């Protein structure tokens, strides 16, 4: 079976789907691995490393897509690239199919099958395939480093002959994978960390990392599936904002991480809250690509408000750590591939939980409930 890895074309994307080490492992398992020329360059993997691993380098992108049995990528390819794939070929990538119907249509027209790594069920035996978590972990770390760089003061308490410097205060909105790594990183740098999350079960995790939990009483509108918040009422968000407002006014840094799969990101930081913050304080909106948690954030821009607050809107934080991000993603996607197939063929175990949960299009037919309007069953 021929596996192909293209060079990513999305703006600000530095990752690659396979590292040389993982490519070598797949070659040993009997797969043929073909890499587009320069695909790993932005992740510090040159073509010679792939060649040494047993992969073949191809310069013709159209040929790469036309001859692949399986295409592995970080982001879904363009509709034109998908159109070049041979019928019944298979794509594995991030798709976010519910909000990108044009990708589903392109896969259907091409007669291919497509699995989305962001749709892999959140179950224990799929942990090694969980690319959402591996990338969010890195993003949480990088968000703190970026905020620290943009802030005009240090994080830790420092006692000097010239006086005592108070520690910075960091408020983190959301204690998922990214939020927990942000807490740990900010604490290691010496900050006082306060954390808000609508899931009460995260309180113990926050406290175990040294954070102070800002508790908002939950209500029946909160819907949680597979560890992710799937829905919450506007009334609850308003109540959360009111509680967070006083913490925001005292914060040196706010990091927001809240996402709802298939929907626009909820607004957590209002214009009034931004106006209440101190001159020189920093906000990192990690949800900016999905519409943003912060009023006034802009995609891939740093906004400086009239009162001197910096709002960082970086769209692809894992891509800023491409070496680590690519290594982790390669392990995720190769584990996923080896679950679905041998080097000879795909198993097509259609009722198996991971296959059923992640298969978006099968041989040109959209099959996932999120794109066929069928009710999603637990």
CA-based nearest residue to 336, from 88, 97, 70, 107:
70
Q: Which two tokens stand for residue 186?
A: 């900010």
Q: How confident is the model at residue 17 (pLDDT cuts 50, 70, 90)?
A: very high
The burial of 201, by beta-carbon neighbours within 10 Å (0-12 exposed, 13-18 middle, 19 or more buried), is given as exposed
Q: Active-site residue among 44, 60, 125, 127? A: 127
Evaluate if residue 54 carries a pLDDT over 80: yes
Higher-confidence residue of 376 and 220: namely 220
Q: Active-site residue among 42, 78, 133, 315? A: 133
Q: Active-site residue among 25, 81, 130, 285? A: 130
Mean pLDDT of the residues in the chain: 93
Range of lowest pLDDT (151-160, 165-174, 232-241, 362-371): 232-241
How do 158-160 and 163-165 pair as beta strands?
A: antiparallel
Q: Which two tokens stand for residue 320?
A: 């800023």
Determine the Cα–Cα distance for residues 104 and 93; give it in Å rounded to an integer: 13
| φ, ψ of residue 365 in degrees (nearest 5) | -115, 125
| φ, ψ of residue 154 in degrees (nearest 5) | -85, 165
For the chain, the C-alpha Rg in angstroms (whole number) is: 22
Evaluate if residue 262 carries a pLDDT over 80: no
Determine the Cα–Cα distance for residues 45 and 85; give it in Å rounded to an integer: 25
Determine the Cα–Cα distance for residues 332 and 32; give it in Å rounded to an integer: 19
pLDDT of 242: 82
Evaluate if residue 229 carries a pLDDT over 70: no
Q: Are 197 and 206 in contact (CB under 8 A)?
A: yes
The order of strands in the sheet holding 56-58 is 56-58, 32-36, 2-5, 70-75, 90-94, 113-116, 359-362, 365-366
pTM to 2 decimal places: 0.91
Which domains are delineated in the chain? 2-119+321-362 (3.40.50.720), 137-320 (3.40.50.720)
pLDDT of 219: 55
pLDDT of 368: 95
The average pLDDT across 299-317 equals: 97
pLDDT of 227: 52
pLDDT tens-digit map of 61-72: 999 999 999 999
Q: Is 234 a catalytic residue?
A: no
Q: Is 47 a catalytic residue?
A: no
3-class secondary structure per residue, the chain: CEEEECCCCCCCCCCCCCCHHHHHHHHHCCCEEEEECCCCHHHCCCHHHHHHCCCEEECCHHHHHHHCCEEEEEECCCHHHHHCCCCCCEEEEECCHHHCHHHHHHHHHHCCEEEEHHHCCCCHHHHHHCHHHHHHHHHHHHHHHHHHHHCCCCCCCEEECCEEECCCEEEEECCCHHHHHHHHHHHHCCCEEEEECCCHHHHHHHHHCCCEEECCCCCCCCEEECCEEEECCHHHHHHHHHHHHHHHHHCCEEEECCCCCCCCCCCCECHHHHHHCCCCCEEEECCHHHCCCECCCCCCCEEECCCCCEEECCCCCHHHCHHHHHHHHHHHHHHHHHHHECCCCECCCCCCHHHHHHEEEECCEECCHHHHCCCCCC
Determine the Cα–Cα distance for residues 248 and 253; give it in Å rounded to an integer: 8
Determine the Cα–Cα distance for residues 92 and 101; give it in Å rounded to an integer: 16
Q: Active-site residue among 42, 122, 276, 343? A: 122
| φ, ψ of residue 191 in degrees (nearest 5) | -80, 160
pLDDT tens-digit map of 6-16: 999 999 999 99
pLDDT of 201: 87
CA-based nearest residue to 274, from 248, 252, 302:
248
pLDDT of 377: 42
Q: Is 252 a catalytic residue?
A: no
Evaluate if residue 374 carries a pLDDT over 60: no
Q: Is 199 a catalytic residue?
A: no
CA-based nearest residue to 355, from 343, 367, 376, 340:
340
pLDDT of 230: 54
pLDDT of 202: 92
CA-based nearest residue to 333, from 153, 161, 146, 90:
90
Q: Is 69 a catalytic residue?
A: no
Evaluate if residue 244 carries a pLDDT over 90: no
Q: Active-site residue among 42, 188, 228, 315? A: 228
Range of lowest pLDDT (66-70, 119-123, 215-219, 306-310): 215-219
Per-residue buried b or exposed e for 102-132, using 16+ beta carbons within 10 Å of the residue's own CB: ebbebbbebebbbbbbbbbeeeeebeebbbb
pLDDT tens-digit map of 92-144: 999 999 999 999 999 999 999 999 999 999 999 999 999 999 999 999 999 99
Q: Are 182 and 141 in contact (CB under 8 A)?
A: yes
Evaluate if residue 207 carries a pLDDT over 50: yes
């Amino acid at each position: 079976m021929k596996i192909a890895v293209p060079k990513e074309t999305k703006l600000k994307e530095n990752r690659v789907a396979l590292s040389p080490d993982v490519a070598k492992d797949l070659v040993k398992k009997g797969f043929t691995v073909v890499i587009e020329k320069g695909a790993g360059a932005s992740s510090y993997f040159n073509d010679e490393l792939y060649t040494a691993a047993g992969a073949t380098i191809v310069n013709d992108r159209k040929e790469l897509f036309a001859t692949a049995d399986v295409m592995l990528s970080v982001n879904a390819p363009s509709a034109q690239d998908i159109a070049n794939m041979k019928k019944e070929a298979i794509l594995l990538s991030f798709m976010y199919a519910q909000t990108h119907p044009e990708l589903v249509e392109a896969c259907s027209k091409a007669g291919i099958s497509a699995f989305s790594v962001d749709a892999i069920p959140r179950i224990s035996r799929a942990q090694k395939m969980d690319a959402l978590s591996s990338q969010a972990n890195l993003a949480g770390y990088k968000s703190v480093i970026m905020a620290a760089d943009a802030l005009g003061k240090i994080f830790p308490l420092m006692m000097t002959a010239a006086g005592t410097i108070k520690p910075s205060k960091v408020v983190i909105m959301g204690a998922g994978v990214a939020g927990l790594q942000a807490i740990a990183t900010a604490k290691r740098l010496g900050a006082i960390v306060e954390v808000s999350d609508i899931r009460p079960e995260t309180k113990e995790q926050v406290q175990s990392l040294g954070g102070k939990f800002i508790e908002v009483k939950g209500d029946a509108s909160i819907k949680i599936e597979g560890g992710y918040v799937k829905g919450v009422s506007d009334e609850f968000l308003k109540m959360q904002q009111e509680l967070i407002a006083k913490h925001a006014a005292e914060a040196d840094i706010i990091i927001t991480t809240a996402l709802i799969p298939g929907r626009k990101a909820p607004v957590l930081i209002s214009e009034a809250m931004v106006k209440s913050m101190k001159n020189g304080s920093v906000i990192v909106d990690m949800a900016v690509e999905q519409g943003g948690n912060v009023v006034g954030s802009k995609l891939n821009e740093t906004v400086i408000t009239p009162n001197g607050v910096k709002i960082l809107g970086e769209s692809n934080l894992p891509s800023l750590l491409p070496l680590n991000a690519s290594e982790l993603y390669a392990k995720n996607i190769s584990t996923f591939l080896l679950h679905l197939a041998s080097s000879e063929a795909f198993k097509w175990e259609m009722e198996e939980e991971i296959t059923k949960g992640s298969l978006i299009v099968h041989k040109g037919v959209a099959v996932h409930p999120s794109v066929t309007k069928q009710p999603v069953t637990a």
